[in-house]
Structure 1
Amino acid sequence: MAGGDEIATEQMKDEPLLGLLDVALLAAILCAGAWWLFRGKRKSEPPSAAKSYTIQPTALATQSTETSFIKKLKTSGRSLVVFYGSQTGTGEEFAGRLAKEGIRYRLKGMVADPEECDMEELTALKEIPNSLAVFCLATYGEGDPTDNAMEFYEWLQSGDGDLSGLNYAVFGLGNKTYEHYNEVGKYVDKRLEELGATRVFELGLGDDDANIEEDFITWKDRFWPVVCEYFGIEATGEDVSVRQYRLTEHTDANLDRVYTGEMARLHSLKNQRPPFDAKNPFLSKIKVNRELHKTGDRSCMHIEFDIENSKMRYETGDHLAVYPQNNTELVNRLGELLSVDLDTVITLTNTDEESTKKHPFPCPCSYRTALSHYLDITSNPRTHVLKEIIEYTQDPKDQELLRLMSSNSVEGKQKYTQWIIQDNRNIVHILEDLPSCKPALDHLCELLPRLQARYYSISSSPKVHPDTVHITAVLVQYETPTKRTNKGVATTWLAAKQPAGGDDERCVAPIYIRRSQFRLPTRPQVPIIMIGPGTGLAPFRGFIQERNQLREEGKPVGETILYFGCRKKSEDFIYEEELTEYVNNGTLKMHVAFSRDQKEKVYVTHLLEQNKDELWRVIGENNGNLYVCGDARNMARDVHNIIEKVVQEKGGMTESQAATYVKKMEAQKRYSADVWS
């Protein structure tokens, strides 16, 4: 599975690289050379009268272990702290933008990760004059907080804090295709008030299924005037578009001390040691990569990752996180457009000495490494990126287009939606279509979001495959309105990894396991219904393997019923032979919908409508479990409506009673969804 901030991953914190002696020596050698080299490059760039910032060699600071954000606020003269709960990096990005804009309103801001802070100090924030805490919190899964916000969320639930005197505001990041839309933002906003805090501005709700950038801009444009009125302050009018990081170019770098794609610890991909997680992924060999589609122009891959001797363990229903690399051609194209030697080794160091995040990604590394491993160069750039690159643009028409799209006007928002979102332009496309725009690559590296891990539902059972993890992934490739071909970052990268036998070092991928709540019932005799068209079948393949294994061991196993759908039986009926074998040996009962094998299209939802008696027998009469995996926007929503209808009709309930019954199933983990938009 892969998707927006509701369901994806969190970025890591970078570790210091050089020791003090290394830094001192490096600074002494490079100070003059790197500085004057960079100044020479800047002379050929468009001038900027509106901004000024310092770029100079700097020693790499030590990672802070201080958890007192109150102390940091006091020592640095700040009054605004913006906390983020983020899985894909969007929440953190929005938090950074708010903290940065605070300068315009005499509220010097700081971004904070709640996982790294003593959140009980919120009770003491009132000691700082004009203090304000803002929370940019994403929801993912079934209304769950992000990993880094979990402890804070649980602390709020405990109800121990007296937050009277705390001024706050909340912006939630969610996706309306999910049933528990923005559940975390809504809860935190309500709970803070219950604990005595003062809501300075109304809750903001961002919808990643529509245009979360526009939602955020609309909210913050109304947020700042209210904040100014509340605290009795006025905007300074200062340009807040200042550089957050200082550049050092290492002209004579020690390549043994340069990052080449590691997430945190230097050489972690060569010198592997458990435990393996988001900051320390396991470099797994790909043992199998085979095509599942029989014919047609689409591709679906079955990939098996070797985890033997890794001490990694997974459970049926968990997710596999894969750290991909950007397409080499796209990376090279960016270097060509900006006339930059991508093998130049750089360090970007935070100008805010109080920040715990010293670098935007592991440094030092080459531009090529940053663009390949650390930066998202394929997504649609947000408006603040467009605003920042105006100064590097020479053609007045190009400048005006960027200025319009980065503005808050109705016309500007419409143009951004059409030219960036609907036309699906990434940063490379923008630079190709605006040839007079030549931003400094280090500035672009500062602005672009982090490349995130991609998540896939594991399609195997550890009881059957303890030493491998399987995933099922559709190769993403499509044409945009500008007649360009966009390719999925991870699936394109994985598709090229075809093991040729032996120890092929190229067929490896950094991975880790993310735990899931998508679980088989603890008692195997409980009957289950699984609904998963297309690659929604993935986790259910693991479920079926596990139930089959239990049967072979002579244990009692309840009914195992699968509803699967695809286009054509002869084309994309994935795992057909395997599923047929399970049907023949009595493990599985299967209903299959082939949408295009007849004149009238037939989908999984049609089969569910036809089998209401079976559905009620399992979930109503026998207290069985129901699972849904696949598209959240249409399929999962339609299934939910059908289930409520079945409960109402077959259970003899009112519409309200049926809805309550289904919600109780969800609370009891008898109705679970693993969906994406």
Structure 2
Amino acid sequence: MLAFMLFTASVGLLVLLIIRRFFPSSSSSSSSLSNSLAPAPAPAGNNRSALAARSGSGLEPDARPIQRLLILYGTQTGTAERFARELDDIVRKKFATSPMKLDVETVDMEQYESRAKAGELANEPFVVVACATYGDGDPTDTAMGTHNYLVKDLPDSLESGHEHEALKGVTFAVFGLGNTQYEHFNAAAKALDKGLDALGAKRLCGMGLGDDDNDIEEDFRKWHESTLMPALVDAGFAGGVDQSKPSSEAAEATLAVPRSLDIAKEDKEANLSTIVASAASFYGTASHRVDATKVVARRELYTYGAGDANARSCVHVELDASALSTANSGSSTPLYETGDHVGVFAVNDDKVVNAYLKRFQLSANSVVRLLRPADAPNALEGPHCTAPVTIQTYLSRFCDLLSFPKKGVLMTLAACCKVDAERVMLLRLSSPEGKGDYKAEIVNKQRSLLQVVTELAPSANVSPGVLLGMLPKLQPRFYSISSASSRHPKHVHITCAVVSHDTPGGRWHDGVASTFLANVNVGDRVLAFIRTSTFRLPSSAATPLLCVGPGTGVAPFRAFVQARVDADERKREELDSPRAASGAAKSMAKMSLYFGCRRLSAEHMYEGELRDAAAGGILRLEVVSSRDGATAPHRYVQDLLARPEDAAAARKALLKDGGHLYVCGDAKHMAADVHRTLVGVLSSGDDGLRDAAEAETWLASASKSGRYQRDVW
């Protein structure tokens, strides 16, 4: 396919005439330092002079009426934020000739929470929300507060019958970001869309449903071009004037003229605390405290097949929690609860960073301060940190270097290409017409930006400011804490499977965070924070627990076991008598844990302590392997649950004894398979529910009440 694309590009003379119209050959540099960091500037300018001419101080004050638009976003991986900022740029361009003065504000839902609770949303004439769904159908961490307020808290606070008056003057639209491979596809966006409608806001247009399992970029483009923008015009937004070119390709080509971060040279790199403080938006310090915590222990849980395609490894890492505090806590007192998560800001592997430094001819030790130009489009990435740092530090700590580049990045790279055939090919990959090629050559092959430049566009001459303005932020990785706060109040335990595999594009991929944690040493410092979770043990130790956690999904259940053992010991101490006489074990309901892995001989994590808990009467442990035996059929945790004796025990625990059900691990396959099995288990037997529909209803009710909890990814 790639050969055919190159052939097509070489003969696309007519296309080249169009391309040259949008990408003039003039060159400019983002700053005076750019030439000292790279041998040549980008081949296209950034059109700042034209913008400056339009906004010069010599113009008369703008007396036009103001047209307000609020764009909110709730993001977990950065995509919703990027879409929101791109939409900001698109609206400004499309309505640039409007008789009204545009006032477009793009805000993180986390930052908007206090304003929403103060009633500001009711005064917004037009609101567009880009809302991602995360985990088990939940809003993202940053969107949680505003989402819950609008969907639940605000309606509950209003008098009955007056709910439809709260946002009566607001016109809104919602674009959801989800994945159809997950059970609760775009659940958070759907709930928000329904909630805003229930509060009396007027729906501007149909909700957009982006599917990351297919082509979420194309979903967003189609929605904003074919649905949102026409609806804004029809609603009279900014006077209803839209004189932009109808061709999305022409509009996007204009946006693709390389934009650059400004680079100022500095003498000395800031210390780590200053760097963190200068990167508040990157680290999200509005909702949690990020600190450098010391690694106090690290060990291999298992490793085998080194150098083999089937190699597997898992590490146990312990962090000193004394520097960490829970979300929204004003106290520096060490605190986390059993079931919480720890977020880790990893550092890119030196091999990857050095490859970027070499390809783009950057000086690793050059100390710079990155600044955002006043006229920069919202879609420009960064700067993720504004303190003086070396180029090596910025690439290592702040930039996502391994994810595949989005279409806007390909268009920017196209403008930097010296070879016309490469330029045409990149524009093809970034165009609506080339979405199939984009998926085949970029997404499916998991090509990183470095791979694209090396393999598809070797003539691309990208200046440092343009490069750093293209690289998205490196997101934190979250891990279920595998220790109980009752036993390890000052330490946080992490159970991390090391990701390492060959990509379809021929690149060996080492997971950023897992490789980082696999290589830390005792005494190293890691930037981390505690994220409060709803994955909690019931308040009563007499409540039965049914837990399903294959692989590293066992992590929170190891913590649960520790908590149950500690509670039992406290009970026995209170009674001051042997267990058999005290009956303490009888008051402690049994916890059933279903654990699965590929090979029990190699991957049965924490086997000793789990079997000790089982021997002590606290735990019923059931294990299964899916790969042991050359000819044996693959068996999984759901197969154990479906066994007649296990199914009967599950029905008794859940339907009769008020037990709680927990699932942790893979959301795409395992959690969905377990859910289907549970429906069958609960609707079978003389002691079961009538049918599958009633079982689904029971599970939905249990989920709402907190008796059915899932920590899935």
- For normalisation by structure 1, the TM-score amounts to 0.83
Report if the CA contact (8 A) 2:169-2:201 is conserved.
yes
Instruction: Give the CA deviation at 1:199.
Output: 2.1
Q: Secondary structure at the match of 2:529?
A: strand
Which letter does structure 2 place at the counterpart of 1:642? T
Which letter does structure 2 place at the counterpart of 1:147? D
Offset from partner CA, 1:394-414 (integer Å, 9 cap, x none): 1112111110111112xx111
Q: Secondary structure at the match of 1:292?
A: strand
Give the structure 2 partner of residue 20 of structure 1: none
Give the structure 2 partner of residue 631 of structure 1: 666
Aligned positions of 1:228-627 closer than 5 A: 228-231=233-236, 232-237=240-245, 239-241=254-256, 246-250=261-265, 253-255=266-268, 257=270, 262-265=275-278, 280-293=289-302, 295-296=304-305, 297-308=311-322, 311-344=333-366, 345-351=368-374, 360-364=383-387, 365-409=389-433, 412-433=434-455, 434-499=457-522, 504=523, 507-553=524-570, 554=572, 555=584, 556-598=587-629, 599-610=632-643, 611-627=646-662
Give the structure 1 partner of residue 24 of structure 2: none
Q: Secondary structure at the match of 1:290?
A: strand
Q: Secondary structure at the match of 2:85?
A: helix
Q: Secondary structure at the match of 1:674?
A: strand
Paired with 1:41 and 1:573, the residues of 2 have a C-alpha distance of: 50
Give the structure 2 partner of residue 115 of structure 1: 110
Report if the CA contact (8 A) 1:84-1:114 is conserved.
yes
Aligned residue among 211, 214, 221 for 2:215: 211
Paired with 1:162 and 1:406, the residues of 2 have a C-alpha distance of: 42
Offset from partner CA, 1:326-348 (integer Å, 9 cap, x none): 11121121121112223331322
Instruction: Give the CA deviation at 1:387.
Output: 1.1
Paired with 1:320 and 1:43, the residues of 2 have a C-alpha distance of: 42
Paired with 1:208 and 1:473, the residues of 2 have a C-alpha distance of: 25
Report if the CA contact (8 A) 1:244-1:351 is conserved.
no
Which letter does structure 2 place at the counterpart of 1:149? A
Which letter does structure 2 place at the counterpart of 1:213? E
Paired with 1:284 and 1:574, the residues of 2 have a C-alpha distance of: 25
Of structures 1 and 2, the larger Rg is shown by: 2
Report if the CA contact (8 A) 1:244-1:350 is conserved.
no
Offset from partner CA, 1:414-450 (integer Å, 9 cap, x none): 1111111110011111111121112222122222221
- Give the number of equivalent residue pairs: 605
Which letter does structure 2 place at the counterpart of 1:249? A
Which letter does structure 2 place at the counterpart of 1:413? K
Which letter does structure 1 place at the counterpart of 2:244? T
Instruction: Give the CA deviation at 1:279.
Output: 6.0
Q: Secondary structure at the match of 1:470?
A: strand
Paired with 1:227 and 1:419, the residues of 2 have a C-alpha distance of: 35
Instruction: Give the CA deviation at 1:260.
Output: 8.2
Which letter does structure 2 place at the counterpart of 1:122? L
Give the structure 2 partner of residue 139 of structure 1: 133
Provide the aligned C-alpha RMSD in A.
3.1
Tell me, which stretches of 5 or more residues in structure 1 are unaligned?
Answer: 1-32, 57-72, 127-131, 268-274
Which letter does structure 2 place at the counterpart of 1:550? A
Offset from partner CA, 1:24-65 (integer Å, 9 cap, x none): xxxxxxxxx99545478899445337x523699xxxxxxxxx
Instruction: Give the CA deviation at 1:370.
Output: 1.8
Give the structure 1 partner of residue 698 of structure 2: 661
Q: Secondary structure at the match of 1:147?
A: coil
Paired with 2:269 and 2:507, the residues of 1 have a C-alpha distance of: 39
Q: Which moved more, 1:634-643 or 1:591-600?
A: 591-600
Paired with 1:260 and 1:423, the residues of 2 have a C-alpha distance of: 38
Give the structure 2 partner of residue 173 of structure 1: 177
Give the structure 1 partner of residue 93 of structure 2: 104
Paired with 2:288 and 2:669, the residues of 1 have a C-alpha distance of: 35
Instruction: Give the CA deviation at 1:469.
Output: 0.7
Tell me, which stretches of 5 or more residues in structure 2 are unaligned?
Answer: 1-28, 52-61, 97-101, 159-164, 246-250, 306-310, 325-332, 573-583
Paired with 1:320 and 1:380, the residues of 2 have a C-alpha distance of: 26
Report if the CA contact (8 A) 1:530-1:626 is conserved.
yes
Paired with 1:526 and 1:339, the residues of 2 have a C-alpha distance of: 62
Report if the CA contact (8 A) 1:169-1:201 is conserved.
yes
Q: Which moved more, 1:427-436 or 1:207-216?
A: 207-216
Offset from partner CA, 1:427-483 (integer Å, 9 cap, x none): 111111121112222122222221111100111101111111111111111101232
Paired with 2:188 and 2:264, the residues of 1 have a C-alpha distance of: 42
Which letter does structure 1 place at the counterpart of 2:705? Q
Which letter does structure 2 place at the counterpart of 1:179? E
Aligned residue among 220, 227, 230 for 2:232: 227
Report if the CA contact (8 A) 1:81-1:99 is conserved.
no
- For normalisation by structure 2, the TM-score amounts to 0.79
Q: 1:285 to 1:155 in 2, by over 3 A?
A: closer
Paired with 1:75 and 1:628, the residues of 2 have a C-alpha distance of: 57
Offset from partner CA, 1:589-642 (integer Å, 9 cap, x none): 111111122322221111111021111111112110111011111111111111
Q: Secondary structure at the match of 2:275?
A: coil
Paired with 1:588 and 1:74, the residues of 2 have a C-alpha distance of: 73
Paired with 1:293 and 1:43, the residues of 2 have a C-alpha distance of: 47
Report if the CA contact (8 A) 2:30-2:262 is conserved.
no
Give the structure 1 partner of residue 575 of structure 2: none
Instruction: Give the CA deviation at 1:573.
Output: 1.2
Report if the CA contact (8 A) 2:258-2:415 is conserved.
no
Q: 1:93 to 1:552 in 2, by over 3 A?
A: same
Which letter does structure 2 place at the counterpart of 1:174? G
Instruction: Give the CA deviation at 1:148.
Output: 3.0
Q: 1:122 to 1:619 in 2, by over 3 A?
A: same
Offset from partner CA, 1:144-168 (integer Å, 9 cap, x none): 3233333322432313563334222
Instruction: Give the CA deviation at 1:255.
Output: 1.9
Q: Which moved more, 1:469-478 or 1:99-108?
A: 99-108
Q: 1:436 to 1:639 in 2, by over 3 A?
A: same
Give the structure 2 partner of residue 196 of structure 1: 200
Report if the CA contact (8 A) 1:536-1:630 is conserved.
yes
Which letter does structure 2 place at the counterpart of 1:497? V
Give the structure 1 partner of residue 58 of structure 2: none
Which letter does structure 1 place at the counterpart of 2:319? F
Instruction: Give the CA deviation at 1:558.
Output: 0.5
Paired with 2:44 and 2:660, the residues of 1 have a C-alpha distance of: 62
Paired with 2:660 and 2:702, the residues of 1 have a C-alpha distance of: 8
Q: 1:302 to 1:46 in 2, by over 3 A?
A: closer
Q: 1:420 to 1:600 in 2, by over 3 A?
A: same
Report if the CA contact (8 A) 1:565-1:604 is conserved.
yes
Offset from partner CA, 1:242-276 (integer Å, 9 cap, x none): 677650322xx242657788333589xxxxxxx98
Q: Secondary structure at the match of 1:627?
A: strand
Q: 1:362 to 1:41 in 2, by over 3 A?
A: closer
Report if the CA contact (8 A) 1:568-1:596 is conserved.
yes
Paired with 1:195 and 1:299, the residues of 2 have a C-alpha distance of: 50
Paired with 2:88 and 2:72, the residues of 1 have a C-alpha distance of: 10
Paired with 1:396 and 1:353, the residues of 2 have a C-alpha distance of: 27
Q: Which moved more, 1:221-230 or 1:598-607?
A: 221-230
